[in-house]
A and B are shown apart, each in its own frame.
Chain A
Amino acid sequence: MVIKTKKILAPLDGSKNSIRGLDMAIHIARQSQGTVTALAVKSVPGIYAIHPLGFLDFNSTSEMKKILSDAKLRAAKKGIKLIGKSISGDPGYDIARFANNSKNGIDLVVIGARGRSSAKEIFLGSVSNYVLHKSKKPVLIVK
Chain B
Amino acid sequence: MNENNFKKVLVPLDGSKYSEKALGRACELVNMFDSKLVLIYVVEKSVPLNFLDRKAYLKMLQKFGNKILDKANSSLSKKGIHAKIILKEGNIVNEIEKVVKKEKCDLIIVGNKGLGSVTRFLLGSVSNKLAQSSSCSVLIVK
Please tell me if the beta carbons of B24 and A140 are within 8 angstroms of each other in the complex.
Answer: no
CA of A124 to CA of B133 in the docked complex: distance in angstroms? 8
A27 touches B2 (CB 8 A): yes
Q: Is the interface of B mostly helix, strand, loop or mixed?
A: mixed
Q: How far is the CB of A136 from chain B (nearest CB, A)?
A: 6
Could you write out 24 A-B pairs with CB less than 8 Å apart?
A1-B27, A2-B28, A3-B24, A3-B25, A27-B4, A27-B5, A31-B33, A32-B32, A122-B133, A124-B131, A129-B131, A132-B131, A132-B140, A135-B142, A136-B142, A138-B139, A138-B140, A138-B141, A139-B139, A141-B131, A141-B137, A141-B139, A143-B134, A143-B135
With A and B bound together, what is the CA distance between A12 and B139 in angstroms? 18
User: Are B142 and A140 in contact (CB-based, < 8 A)?
Assistant: no
A143 adjacent to B136 (CB under 8 Å): yes
What chain A residues lie within 8 Å of B137 (beta carbons)? 24, 140-143
* Binary B-proximity of A105-143 (CB < 8 A = 1, otherwise 0): 000000000000000001110000100110111111111
A-binding residues in B (CB < 8 A): 2, 4-5, 24-25, 27-28, 32-33, 122-123, 131-142
Near B by CB (< 8 A), chain A positions 1-50 give 1-3, 5, 20, 23-24, 27-28, 31-32
Decide if B4 touches A23 in the complex (CB within 8 Å): yes
Known: A2-B28, A31-B32. A123 touches B132 (CB 8 A): yes
- Beta-carbon nearest neighbor of A136 in chain B: B142
Known: A1-B27, A5-B28, A129-B132. 17 other contacts (CB 8 A): A1-B24, A2-B28, A3-B28, A24-B137, A27-B4, A129-B131, A132-B131, A133-B123, A137-B142, A138-B25, A138-B142, A139-B139, A139-B140, A139-B142, A141-B131, A141-B138, A143-B135
